[in-house]
Amino acid sequence: MNSATLSTTDPAESPLASAFRQALPIILGYVPVGFAYGVLAQKSGLSALNTLLMSALVYAGSAQLIAVGLFAAAANPLAIVATTFVVNLRHLLMSAALAPYLGRWNKTRLALFAAQMTDETFALHANRFARNETGPAETFGINVIAQSAWVGSTALGLAASTLITDVRPIGLDYALPAMFIGLLLGQLKSRQHLLVAVTAGALSTALMLAGLGQSHVLAATVIAATIGLGVHAWTSRRSS
């Protein structure tokens, strides 16, 4: 079997090695984005310390890039916090979706886990947990490796900010979309899931084009999942 397959569990592999292998696409995706954030933050008047602290404490790619733009425009700090809240509210649903798998974890562990939940780590864990891979060593290994890549690439961006004009190295900005394609494929478990995916994708695109700011992902997710539930109720009533 290929050393980088989706279906994992090689008993001889250590949790750390397994975590690194699974986190590799996330690292590839974070490096260019974290790098870009480091460069832009420096150009927007954030000190090096504040730039790094935002990556360590907030740890939310798109929200950080938006915030940097707002800092550069000298926006009201409360407006920056409010925008961050709206942009990151989608994690509410992700956190709820992972909860049923984590009944055996204590509160401290759950609280730590939540701090490192991003779109990318969520997507990876959603696939892992569905395969009953909820080992804490591997789970936290993935999270720590991913966040280290994020903070590390922020530092690289800071260091290079005086040299760099183009922050999009060739092809690297496709690492995360490509990873999402793979993760989405792993989530298409039934026709109903496929229907939900198509609905969410179309709706999210339409809402974004209609100018729904940062809420299109959240709105499309809620509506599509609810439609999926409705279709399930309808088909199971017909067949019973």
Partner 1 sequence: MDQQTIFLTILGMMAVTYIPRALPVLALARRTLPEPVIRWLGFIPVAVLAAMLVPALVAPEKFLDFSFRNIFLWAALPTFLVCWKTKSFVGAVVTGMGCVALGRLFFT
Considering only residues 92 to 131 of the shown chain, the ones binding partner 1 according to CB under 8 A are 92-100, 102-103, 105, 107, 110-111, 113-115, 117, 119, 122-123, 126-127
Of 60-68, 133-141, 147-155, 156-164, the segment contacting partner 1 by CB under 8 A is: 60-68
Residue 181: Cβ within 10 Å count: 11
Under 8 Å CB-to-CB from 94, ≥6 apart: which residues? 117, 119, 122, 126
The gap from C-alpha 36 to its chain's centroid, in whole angstroms, comes to 17
* Of the candidate residues 19, 33, 46, 149, the single one contacting partner 1 (CB under 8 A): 46
Question: Which residues inside 207-226 make contact with partner 1, applying CB under 8 A?
Answer: 208-209, 216-217, 220-221, 224-226
Nearer to partner 1, 130 or 137 (CB): 130
- In the bound state with partner 1, the residue whose beta carbon lies nearer, of 121 and 152, is 121
Long-range contacts of range 178-184, CB-CB < 8 Å, 24 or more positions apart?
178/25, 179/25, 179/26, 179/28, 179/29, 179/120, 179/123, 180/123, 182/6, 182/25, 183/123, 183/124, 183/126, 183/127
Per CB under 8 A, 202 contacts partner 1? yes
**Count of residues touching partner 1 (by CB under 8 A):** 104
Q: Which of residues 163-182 bind partner 1 (CB under 8 A)?
A: 170-175, 177-182
